[in-house]
Amino acid sequence: MFTRALSRLSVGFYPQLLRILATCGTTVSRAGRIVRAVSENGKLGIVDKGWNDLQTEADRAAQRCIVASLSKSFPNVTIIGEEETDPNEDIKPDWVETSLDENILKHVSNFPEEWKDVKDEDIVIWVDPLDGTAEYTQGLLDHVTVLIGIAVKGKAVAGVIHQPYYNYKAGPGATLGRTIWGMVGLGAFGYTQKQPPKGKNIITTTRSHSNKVVTDSVDACEPTEVIRVGGAGHKVLLLIEGEVHAYVFASPGCKKWDTCAPEAILTAIGGKLTDIHGSKLQYHKEVQHKNTAGVLATFSVDHQWYLDKIPQSAKDALKP
Ligand SMILES: Nc1ncnc2c1ncn2[C@@H]1O[C@H](COP(=O)(O)O)[C@@H](OP(=O)(O)O)[C@H]1O
Ligand SMILES: [Mg+2]
Ligand SMILES: [Mg+2]
Ligand SMILES: [Mg+2]
């Protein structure tokens, strides 16, 4: 209690980007509790926003919580969320999280010089209140994450990935949820980094948004095994925890809020997330939301090798 009060008093001493990241750390956990409460209540309120593009009450409520929380503490920072929610709708007061995550704040001593004087107008926060919605509606709860990515001058530089159901198979009484966070120049925390098995080439891709270009591109990368799971956040966690060698998604379906936090965390540990041409993704506030040229993410393997394997027909079909 004492340390929390002390850090609040000295908040002006922390760089703005660290304060934002530390607020994202507490806010994702709050949003994760909302996601769990909706599924426990059972009234999912499913809406299809297009074709196979689901939204539930958990997506809407978690987004309201995150946007209200971050805009209260950082009113001059642009926040772009996946869901369209009514800004005038009443928010439960206890959904507004303004405290700072001590585990993140304590890294102030080795905070990267590069991000010390970042201005509010150069920051965009990308919010995916529930990544893996299709799987959430089907009870595949460990695919679900809450993503908040922070971009500076169009680059993904920091982010949090919260898994609200982490540990849910451990039985009653288990503490649910974990938060993985990172910043370029500082590193990534909250998980155990592992290398993928040698002599194999395990590829993860979409489970619920596949098509022929997607599967042809995965096949062209010569997988020894394909793991089809939900969520961009979940798939990048599989990468950094050494379960897979690459995340290959030759489709325009993923958006900036899907990739900003995962890309920042992956980049923080030396991995790569690009489109299928190898170009970096942009995250400034005017950018189109769709990642029209697909997604390729790798950690600890040769990114270029996968880029070279993706068929020319997929590259022709998916232009930036
Ligand atoms: N064809 C498509 N249409 C709509 N959304 C798509 C899509 N392909 C991928 N996505 C979105 O990209 C994210 C990762 O997809 P996947 O789980 O299939 O790998 C999901 O985010 P959300 O669950 O936040 O909407 C998903 O909806
Ligand atoms: Mg969605
Ligand atoms: Mg998503
Ligand atoms: Mg979502």
Q: Is the pLDDT of residue 153 over 50?
A: yes
| Whole-angstrom distance, CA of residue 303 vs CA of residue 301 | 6
| Whole-angstrom distance, CA of residue 101 vs CA of residue 106 | 9
Q: Is the pLDDT of residue 7 over 80?
A: no
Q: Give yes or no: residues 47 and 115 share one domain.
A: yes
Which of 125, 155, 189 lies at the terminal end of a domain, its last residue? Answer: 189
Does the annotation flag 275 for ligand binding? no
Q: Give yes or no: residues 160 and 207 share one domain.
A: no
| Whole-angstrom distance, CA of residue 23 vs CA of residue 35 | 18
pLDDT at 146: 99
Residue 234 is part of a domain; what is its CATH number? 3.40.190.80
Mean pLDDT along residues 240-268: 98
Q: Give yes or no: residues 170 and 209 share one domain.
A: no
Structural domain includes residue 295? yes
Structural domain includes residue 108? yes
pLDDT at 9: 44
Q: Give yes or no: residues 220 and 264 share one domain.
A: yes
133 is catalytic: yes
pTM for this structure? 0.96
pLDDT at 91: 87
Q: Give yes or no: residues 161 and 56 share one domain.
A: yes
Q: Are 78 and 122 in contact (CB under 8 A)?
A: no
Residue whose token pair is 């299809």: 48
| Pocket (CB within 6 angstroms of ligand 1) | 53, 82, 128, 130-133, 206, 208-209, 230-232, 251, 253-254, 258
pLDDT per position as a tens digit, 32-76? 999 999 999 999 999 999 989 999 999 999 999 999 999 999 999
Q: Give yes or no: residues 147 and 261 share one domain.
A: no
Q: Give yes or no: residues 61 and 82 share one domain.
A: yes
User: Which pair of tokens denotes residue 109?
Assistant: 């001593």
| Whole-angstrom distance, CA of residue 130 vs CA of residue 231 | 9
- Show the domain range for 120: 2-189
Q: Give yes or no: residues 156 and 60 share one domain.
A: yes
Structural domain includes residue 106? yes
pLDDT at 30: 98
Number of structural domains found in the chain: 2
Structural domain includes residue 79? yes
Least confident of 88-97, 146-155, 269-278, 302-311: 88-97
Q: Is the pLDDT of residue 180 over 80?
A: yes
pLDDT at 12: 65
pLDDT per position as a tens digit, 203-227? 999 999 999 999 999 999 999 999 9
- The active-site residue out of 23, 26, 56, 133 is 133
| Whole-angstrom distance, CA of residue 131 vs CA of residue 231 | 5
Counting ligands in written order, which one lies closest to the CA of residue 66? 4
- The ipTM (two decimal places) reads 0.99
Q: Are 151 and 123 in contact (CB under 8 A)?
A: yes
Structural domain includes residue 137? yes
Q: Give yes or no: residues 139 and 274 share one domain.
A: no
CA 142 to chain CA centroid, nearest Å:
14
| Whole-angstrom distance, CA of residue 226 vs CA of residue 205 | 7
Q: Is the pLDDT of residue 89 over 90?
A: no
Can you give the three-state secondary structure of the chain, one letter per residue?
CHHHHHHHHCHHHCCHHHHHHHHHHHHHHHHHHHHHHHHHHCCCCCEECCCCCEECHHHHHHHHHHHHHHHHHCCCCEEEECCCCCCCCCCCHHHCCCCCCHHHHHHHHHCCHHHCCCCHHHEEEEEEEEECHHHHHCCCHHHCEEEEEEEECCEEEEEEEEECCCCHHHCCCCCCCEEEEEECCCEEECCCCCCCCCCCCEEEECCCCCCHHHHHHHHHCCCCEEEECCCHHHHHHHHHCCCCCEEEECCCCCEHHHHHHHHHHHHHCCCEEECCCCCCCCCCCCCCCECCCCEEEECCCCHHHHHHHCCHHHHHHCCC
Structural domain includes residue 195? no
Which of 134, 168, 189 lies at the terminal end of a domain, its last residue? Answer: 189
Q: Give yes or no: residues 25 and 105 share one domain.
A: yes
pLDDT at 87: 72
Ligand 4 center from residue 14 Cα (angstroms)? 30
pLDDT per position as a tens digit, 101-134? 999 999 999 999 999 999 999 999 999 999 999 9
- The active-site residue out of 23, 27, 56, 59 is 59
Q: Give yes or no: residues 288 and 173 share one domain.
A: no
Residue 136 is part of a domain; what is its CATH number? 3.30.540.10
Structural domain includes residue 197? no
Structural domain includes residue 269? yes
Q: Give yes or no: residues 156 and 213 share one domain.
A: no
Which of 167, 189, 211 lies at the terminal end of a domain, its last residue? Answer: 189
215 is catalytic: no
Q: Is the pLDDT of residue 192 over 90?
A: yes
Does the annotation flag 128 for ligand binding? yes
